[in-house]
Chain A
Amino acid sequence: MDISIRQVARSFGAVDALRGIDLDIASGELLALLGPSGSGKTTLLRAIAGLEPIDQGRVLFGAIDATRLSVQERQVGFVFQHYALFKHMSVLDNVTFGLRMRKRATRPPRAEIRRRGLELLELVQLPGIAERYPNQLSGGQRQRVALARALAIEPSVLLLDEPFGALDAKVRKELRVWLRQLHDDTGYTTIFVTHDQEEALELADRVVVMNAGAIEQVDTPAKIAQQPKTPFVAEFIERRAAAAAT
């Protein structure tokens, strides 16, 4: 589903977290929101999900105006930075939660729910851990369970908040390749937030560079790297690249 953001603004007291953001995301696109902390990227992601109220503007899901829709009605797949898995539920119960919470009329039968849960665990390459609990999993495994749980509701859009932030460097690289693969296989419109320019440039179809609640540049990774539009983008990309090189 394509998503349009129109003049979205949000302030916390005196701080403008988002100042009139306009952005169009194409269906099936893999988009990165890149910026330093405090740039508003996570606020924007949460605003799309409906987890953060907005003061002004509109959020459109395809032809539907989602601005007034509740979190539940938006049916977004959200993967939290620290995964937010349900500690007291098995992995399978975590993954099938969205299906089990459906109203009776649209809820699949129990056997079908179980089958889909196991299927999703296959998809995220975690067969055989259905009966385990979140605290028995590694960080990378938790991340993938969280992703499977978000995919279970067949979301209108997949939103990931710093998806690799809590993982060590090696797992991070592996998961990055794997996520790109998963995106290409499933075709969900995907938006992820990161402060790591290398991650954004390597993984995304397009990168949105944000600073102080506004968008500095929206372009393909190649263009962002070669033709930065503003001094901020140039400096942010360069400084990160320099840091990575040393």
Chain B
Amino acid sequence: MHEPASVRRYDNALIEPAPVRWLLIVVTLAFLAVFLLLPLVTVFVQALRNGVSTYFSALTDADTLASIRLTLVTAAIAVPLNTMFGVAAAWAIAKFEFRGKNLLTTLIDLPFSVSPVIAGMVFVLLFGSRGWFGPWLSEHDVKVIFALPGIVLATTFVTFPFVARELIPLMQAQGTEEEQAAMTLGAGGLRTFWHVTMPNIRWGLLYGVLLCNARAMGEFGAVSVVSGHIRGMTNTMPLQVEAMYNDPGEYSAAFAVSSLLALLGFVTLALKNFLEWRHGSELAALRGRG
């Protein structure tokens, strides 16, 4: 397209030459296509390979439905728990000075830095039949490992950092002046939190909850250790996918369930982008302001 010379000069001062730009764009797109798009497409192609009716019958299989239910129940417990813990931890770290604050900040990141398998093993060592609390638990007929409580514990552990990490920088940037102002105006702790702190962090919080949920539903490693892989009982969706994949007769059914997990990923991303588009300036403003 023809552009006036003056505009072009202006462009040249700010932007890389065209070949460099094109190279960067092509490299990025190629990378995305090979590493992200292709695998996703494969999942859906494999899932729908034997027709739509096979796809839906794979999804309505009793064991699969049980795994979907277990995944939803687990997320429904783990996500609210981590939302509360995350807000509490971020609040403590961002708004108070105390000994061991750096240690706490490091500890919050622990679930990210340690392998999920270790996270699962920890709970087996604590609550397994030969674990610390194992004898006591079996005496009182409480099942933790190879049951819902263990799965929830492992999931909660692995997804703990999401909300807290999203909120800490946000709350640190905001400081405590608005809260102090609310206190001088007569608002107690709870009302200050509800009317002043909460509105200031709500979009960041929602963002953290979304990511936390995506991971809670998708977690494999830690849950795999504590679950026991009982079909229709303790298999979450990711575990069900693996179980089906290893069964030659259910190869494509495995991809049908996978496609659901992939869809969850899409929905999460779509919501995340929607939030950024709708409230992006607010999020940026909250982050940027001192």
Contacts and interface: CB of A to CB of B under 8 A. Distances in A.
Give the secondary structure class of A's interface: loop
Interface stretch (A75-83, A123-131, A178-186): A75-83
Interface stretch (B54-62, B109-117, B186-194): B186-194
Contacts, number: 62
B200 A88 contact: yes
Central interface residue in B182, B183, B185, by most chain A CB within 10 Å? B185
A149 B199 CA distance: 19
- Give the size range of A's interface with the partner: 20 to 34
Interface in B83-137: none
Contact of A84 (B180, B186, B188): B180
Interface string B173-208: 000011011111111100100011001100000000
A49 B183 CA distance: 10
Interface in B254-290: 285-286, 289
Contacts of B187: 72, 97, 101
Contacts of A236: none
A97 B182 CA distance: 8
Interface string A132-162: 0001000000000000011011000000000
A46 B81 CA distance: 37
A61 interface: no
A86 B184 contact: no
Contacts of B195: 97, 101
A72 B189 CA distance: 10
B186 A78 contact: no
Interface string A75-111: 1111010101111110000000110011000000000
A9 to B, nearest CB: 20
B182 A87 contact: no
A150 B182 contact: no
A76 B180 CA distance: 12
B184 A77 contact: yes
Contacts of B191: 101
11 contacts: A49-B184, A72-B183, A78-B184, A86-B182, A86-B199, A87-B285, A97-B182, A101-B185, A101-B191, A101-B195, A135-B285
Given A72-B188, A101-B191, 7 more contacts: A71-B183, A71-B184, A76-B184, A85-B178, A87-B286, A149-B185, A153-B186
Among all A-B residue pairs, the 3 with the closest Cβ atoms: A98-B185, A84-B177, A84-B181
